[in-house]
Amino acid sequence: MKILSVTEKTSFNQLHMGRLLVHDSPHFKILSFSFLEGQELPVHSHEIEGEVSIFVIEGEGEFLGGEVPIPAKAGDIMICNISEPHGIRAKGPMRVLVTIAPPI
């Protein structure tokens, strides 16, 4: 059993988004990203089998990758195939929890 504070272990950085590898195993990979206004996880996709979830822990921004950006706020979750374009952009300080299964 592993327990840690995702929010205490992530920090904001003026230069680039913060990144914390929370867990990596054969079953899933869990990461947390922290963003300041305008920072983003750019739209990307991988031609592999699997799915990704992005849960907004705090803050607000936009889910990217669809036809238009979709508002993202604390408590929202986005789930898609890893092969579908996906990303997220912050409108202010924002933290997200990302789960990838199976792990990349």
Find the binder of its own copies among 17, 65, 90, 96 (CB under 8 A).
65
Which candidate, 40, 50, 54, 55, places its Cα nearest to that of 83?
50
| CB 35, min distance to its own copies, A | 16
Distance CA(65)–CA(68), nearest Å, equals 7
Find the binder of its own copies among 50, 69, 87, 93 (CB under 8 A).
50
Chain-centre distance of CA 97, in angstroms? 5
Structure tokens at 10: 């992530």
Residues binding its own copies (CB under 8 A): 1-8, 22-23, 25, 27-28, 30, 50-51, 53, 55, 57, 63, 65-66, 70, 72-80, 84, 86, 97, 99, 101-102
